[in-house]
Amino acid sequence: MPPLAASSTNPAPKPPRPPTTSPTLGLVGGGQLAKMLAQAAQQFGCEVVVLERTPNTPAAHLARTTLLGDWDDPANLLKLGAQVDVTTLENEFVASESLAALEHAGHAVWPSSRTIRLVQDKLLQKEALAGAGLPLPRFVAVAEPADIAAAALNFGWPLVLKKRRNGYDGKGNATLRSPADIASAWAELGGGAGALYVEEFCPFVAELAIMIVRGRAGESVAYPLVETVQQNHICHLVKAPAAVAPDIAQRASEIARLTVESVEMVGAMGVEMFLLADGTVLVNELAPRVHNSGHYTIEACVCSQFENHVRAVLGWPLGDPSLLAPAAVMVNLLGAGPGSGTPHGLAQALAVPGSHPHVYGKAHSQTGRKMGHLTVLGQTLPEALEKARHAAGLIRFGDSPIS
Ligand code: ADP
């Protein structure tokens, strides 16, 4: 008897497809950057697991689980790795050897421990970038105070003395104006044991930054070049796009792309740069993660830095980084003093047309602590700047009692 012919109206039953689930993302660190990454991950149905040192951080409310522990301890990283498909970082201050242990145990970690090792030590970072031929301020390692005076013979005064590791928001830097400043800066920054290096002072006319997101296969997207304005070494506001000549924007963008390639970044990377009066662009430093200079992308770009970081580390196609409006301004909302993490004036700020406040949900405000940010889109930079300053001025953190 001939075999039964397959019939299109009565197909043979197929084996059931295994249930598919979205990948789970591990976040080392649970602050505001992790919170905004978690929001982006949840858009794709992904759950997140956070590893943090303290409970009740901004991302904790969004996480499936928060593992409490020191993120430098490989055992804690392995616990995180066991619960997730891919691990990523919200800060670069995680011991790279511990991340390497996670990789050796077969877990996916992006950016890689190799990239983090190079970037978290500013001297190694500068050496890697110099090796790749990228334009930088002149720099040299200093083993003792006398090396600073020797560097000044080449670089002149002032000089900037920097910690190689764990510096942020200007904590870890000192500007030295003469030999008289050497001893106090050395003591203040904890000199010795290869902890510091020195670089020439750059008389910049503007500080620029750009976010590049690079995927696992080496493909990348570049956000617009922005201008960042610091107050007391903390990013105060970001203007997008930077009001510079097109050739400068193009050069800065190319330098940033080569920078990200040179450290084989996977994920979002902030490239901070100095613009000098003669149009020279120098790389200041790298942030191997989503970055404050890219917060404006949430409302102002087709695909935000947070969404693109999630796409990159999960190995998915990258999204469009283009601006949705001619201009955007982001203002950081810093604590005005100790008090609650719940702001006054949110409703008033929301009443300003086009204002997008973000409140990070930190339990307590402290003077100068990043408590939130606010973005405004506009037809021109001056228009967006005026509105953003007005709306941000209506919000205040830190003068109410701790709840
Ligand atoms: P952090 O990691 O603390 O942000 P940075 O190295 O970016 O440290 O320095 C913080 C700020 O200090 C910069 O945004 C810039 O305003 C200033 N600065 C840093 N290096 C130099 C330099 N070589 N010349 C002039 N200003 C500098």
Answering whether pTM is above 0.85, one says: yes
Nearest CA to ligand 1 atom 14: 233
- Fold for the domain defined by 24-109: Rossmann fold (3.40.50)
Which two three-digit tokens encode residue 303?
């695909």
Can you tell me the mean pLDDT for 159-186? 92
Q: Is the CB of 386 under 6 A from ligand 1?
A: no
Write the class of the CATH domain 138-200. Answer: alpha beta
- Residue 249's SS3 state is helix
Tokens for 108? 């996916």
**Predicted confidence (pLDDT) at residue 62 exceeds the cutoff of 50:** yes
Q: How far apart are CA 7 and CA 275, in angstroms?
A: 71
Q: What is the pLDDT of residues 245-265, one digit of tens each?
A: 999 999 999 999 999 999 999
Q: Is 284 in the pocket of ligand 1 (CB under 6 A)?
A: yes
Alpha carbon of 170 to ligand 1 centroid (Å) = 6
| φ/ψ of residue 215, rounded to 5 | -85, 175
> In angstroms, what is the span from residue 201 Cα to ligand 1's centroid?
9
Higher-confidence residue of 17 and 320: namely 320
Whole-angstrom Cα distance, residue 50 to residue 335? 25
d(CA 269, ligand 1 centre) in Å = 17
Look at ligand 1, atom 16, and give the residue with the nearest C-alpha.
233
Distance CA 232, CA 73 (A): 33
Q: Please, which pLDDT band fits residue 1 given cuts at 50, 70 and 90?
A: very low
Instruction: Note whether 213 and 268 are within 8 A (CB).
Output: yes
All structural domains of the chain with their residue ranges: 24-109, 138-200, 206-393
375 lines ligand 1 (CB under 6 A): no
Residue 369 to residue 247: CA distance in whole angstroms: 36
Confidence at residue 166, expressed as pLDDT on a 0 to 100 scale: 87
Identify the pLDDT of residue 95: 97
Q: What is the pLDDT of residue 3?
A: 41
Instruction: Classify the C-alpha dihedral 186-189-190-191 as positive or negative.
Output: negative
* Arithmetic mean of pLDDT, 117-129: 97
- The answer to whether 235 touches 228, Cβ cutoff 8 Å, is yes
Q: Indicate whether residue 173 lines ligand 1 (CB < 6 A).
A: yes
Q: Is 246 exposed, middle or buried (0-12, 13-18, 19+ CB in 10 A)?
A: exposed
Average pLDDT over residues 86-92: 97
Q: Which two tokens stand for residue 18?
A: 């295994």
Q: Is the pLDDT of residue 9 over 80?
A: no
CATH topology of domain 206-393: D-amino Acid Aminotransferase; Chain A, domain 1 (3.30.470)
> CA 224 from chain center: how many Å?
15
CA of 126 to the centre of ligand 1 (A): 14
Comparing 401 with 71, the larger pLDDT belongs to 71
